[in-house]
Amino acid sequence: MQFPTRWPAPAKLNLFLHINGRREDGYHELQTLFQFIDTCDYLEFKLTNEPPLVLHSELNEVVAPSDNLILKAAKLLKKHTSYSGGAEISLEKNLPMGGGIGGGSSNAATTLVALNALWKTGLSIDELAELGVQLGADVPVFARGFAAFAEGVGEKLTPVTLPENYYLVLTPNVHVSTAKVFSDPDLPRNTPKLSLATLMQNTWQNDCQTLVAKLHPQVAKALDWLVEYAPSRMTGTGACVFGEFEDKQQALKVLSQLPADLSGFVAQGLNQSPLIELIAE
């Protein structure tokens, strides 16, 4: 099979995010609904016979290579499968960091899926998703590649089919720390667990939104502006916020009215990740 050299790492939105409690190990029980969008980072892989793993990225100036999830994913797969060779990996970074749209987790999942194919290490998607949990709670949903309802710490996934609406995503110029949000004493942690059927009928919310908007005025400003045009929420632990539209032209029209101090993009919701579509081909 001829695989491409350029692999997509799509963004995701949390259409709702409920925090149900904190576990003894410090992790949080949650319920959330993931949908992919068609805006992506891209990764290129060049296989090498030598064992080192090398990452080429402008992020090397921001994130130490040893902390980068791409290299962590490659090293994890290499160790797990006892693969002897290596790879040079190049990252085309389009998704904002600390935006709550899953850039780092998606990069890690794409690395696992791509190198498993290119190295011919033969792991199933289930095995890749299980490996991904070691890298972050959001990695399995990207590895599996289907819109999903998630429970537990985000690892218990139920595939769902959702309307593939268009979204205007605003990207406030601020990096929100997921760790700081989840450790903040003011984070609500008592939303009752509900069935998926009930949740699909309810008004959707993000339990992190009030806290993050209070801590980061840029997020509050983006929400205040966007909610005038469409039902709008924050995704993940922020900073990105999104408004939902039934057609692309409507979303683009609102984007054209964006104040000069706000930035954003229009994307379509996807129930199947472009990464999984590529593998299926």
* Annotated catalytic residue within 12, 72, 78, 207: 12
Contact 236, 96 (CB under 8 A): no
Question: What are the Cα distances from residue 44, in Å, to 30, 70, 75, 114?
Answer: 34, 12, 16, 9
Pairing type for strands 53-56 and 86-92 reads: parallel
Spatial separation of the C-alpha atoms in residues 129 and 123, rounded to whole Å: 10
State which amino acid sits at residue 42.
Y
Identify the bridge partners of residue 6 per DSSP, sorted by sequence position: 44
Can 120 be counted among the known catalytic residues? no
Q: Is 54 helix (H, G, I), strand (E, B) or coil?
A: strand
Rounded to 10 deg, the angle between the 69-81 and 125-133 helix axes is: 120
Can 138 be counted among the known catalytic residues? yes
Spatial separation of the C-alpha atoms in residues 206 and 181, rounded to whole Å: 13
For residue 242, which of 209, 203, 211, 215 has the smallest C-alpha distance? 209
* Annotated catalytic residue within 41, 72, 78, 138: 138
Q: Is 147 helix (H, G, I), strand (E, B) or coil?
A: coil
Q: Which residues are marked as active site?
A: 12, 138
